Structure 1
Amino acid sequence: MNLALLFDEDFLSPDRVLLRGRRLEHLNTVLKACAGDRIPVGRVNGAMGHGDVLRLTDSEAELQVNLNQKAPAPLPLTLILAMPRPKMFRRVLQTCASLGVKDIWLINSYKVEKSFWQTPWLSEDNLRENLTLGLEQAKDTAMPRVHIRKLFKPFVEDELPALLVGKRALVAHPGMATPCPTHLSEPAALCIGPEGGFTDYEVGKLEEAGCQSVHLGPRILRVETAVPVLVSRLYDGCL
């Protein structure tokens, strides 16, 4: 059963919450809750537990909650992702949240069209909404952080080296000699390019910053497929 995710503004008191809007719809259509039901709940960036539905109307639901369980452990992964096409961006965000990725960097690349950066899905409200959908699906509460960097070279030269300190740094790119590693336990940073991959120049700059180039085999995958395949290959804990 999916989780009802609670934000600070939902709380009327330490153990009472009021849900409206999409999350009320989630309560009705996904959790199919009725007054008197007990459902799984969790507070954003906090504990999980259960909520008893005290009152349910067409416009709001009031719950009494007991939060006494830890959320799943996050993956020790920094995901550096060339901005995907807007039509798949939402699904990629939700997938990342469901898998336990908590640190996401959206970067530019030669093959990223300028129009991609104009998508309304990059607004703070839409980012939160899609990350929330992923957390609800996976029964998690830790909200991922999304960083936006629209210039490739300044990011790779000025920020990326420090970001990679203490991590196993990888860039996934077709045709490389080394296969992607598996069963990691240490922190890692993973760079994934756009549809069509990074350019040779970009791969070279990522390698200069400290990344090792790896491949997934001879097949070319869409970004929305490559993300879960790579993350689940690196970390057993996301499964």
Structure 2
Amino acid sequence: MQGLVPRPRFAEFLNRPWRKISRLRASSTPDYANQSRGVLPRFYSEALPPSKGSVVRVQGDEFWHMSKVLRMTISDRVELFNGRGGVVRCCIQKIDQTGLDVIALEEPQVFLPKGTQWHVFAAFGTLKGSRADWLVEKCTELGASSITPLLTERSPSISENRVDRLQRVILAAVKQCQRLHEMSMNPSTKIGSLLPIVAQSKLSFIAVAEATPLITTLTCSRVEASGLIIIGPEGDFTEKEVKMMTEAGATAVGLGPNRLRVETATMTLLATLMLWSDSQQQQDP
């Protein structure tokens, strides 16, 4: 599909080692939560200053936001993050018509992701209006590691211009909720391509009407480093599709007696699993 930034293959997410980025130093500070709730205005920059005293230039939408919307000026302090765990406090050094220069006030740091990395596969390609935007935005806020449009018999495509828009929605949501790691938007995939990923995953859940309730299933499940969340389209998966995924290793779970929209089911499953995995890890010695 055109318009997407190439990403690592899906299977690499399941056991991908998180390492320090570039020359930034990985932080040993245990208080990741505090670092992801910065007190300074935070802006995205693909490139961060490599060391204290070094300078990077900010242009484009972030420059517009800083200079025109917030009316920031020379000597104002900000935080820059790169969406891969890197963050650094900076000071605006220079402003001109095309951008601004910021100087690092400290050595930049990289923080590794914490908790289970949940990868969402949702058949939202046929959602109308702003519903797909809302789904992607809330997945970002809840901390999903990646989201993949799932192509099924009842949701066979997703438009390219919508994908470009969703990338912008993700970045805006990352900044709003102040997470340090950007949620990855993967190219759309068919169920046949998803099956090997399910087979490799130790923790994968598929929302299916009238299946065993999710909470009941979680009482005999254990937390893993990563997991898959699979949500069907309007009209649900076909019986054949459900059989293919459960035979590959996915666990069918129910989300209550009512029929849920795609975005509602996604939020219900993701929020519950995020809270469950977090509580389980808090209990571990």
Length-normalised TM-score, structure 1: 0.78
Q: Distance in 2 between matches of 1:164 and 1:138?
A: 33
Deviation at 1:75?
A: 3.8
SS at 2:258's partner residue?
coil
Match runs of 1:3-42 below 5 Å: 3-8=42-47, 15-28=54-67, 33-42=72-81
- Stretches of structure 1 lacking an aligned partner (at least 5 in a row): none
Following superposition of structure 1 onto structure 2, how do residues 1-239 of structure 1 map, counting pairs within 5 Å?
A: 3-8=42-47, 15-28=54-67, 33-57=72-96, 59-65=98-104, 66=106, 67-68=108-109, 70=111, 73=114, 75-84=116-125, 85=127, 87=129, 88-112=131-155, 114=156, 116-123=157-164, 126=165, 128-152=167-191, 154-156=192-194, 160-180=195-215, 185-186=223-224, 187-236=226-275
Which structure: greater strand fraction? 1
Whether the 8 Å CA contact 2:116–2:223 is kept in 1: the answer is no
Moved over 4 A (4+): 11-14, 28-32, 180-184
Identical columns (%):
20
Gaps of 5+ in 2: 1-38, 280-285
Cα RMSD for the two superposed structures: 3.1
Q: How does the TM-score come out when normalised to structure 2?
A: 0.67
C-alpha contact (below 8 Å) 1:174/1:215 kept by paired residues? yes
Distance (Å, rounded) in 1 between the aligned partners of 2:70 and 2:264: 27
Which letter does structure 1 place at the counterpart of 2:150? I
SS state at 1:142 partner: coil
Distance 1:31 1:238 in 2: 35
Residue 34 of structure 2: aligned partner: none
| Contact 2:198/2:248 (8 A) holds in 1 | no
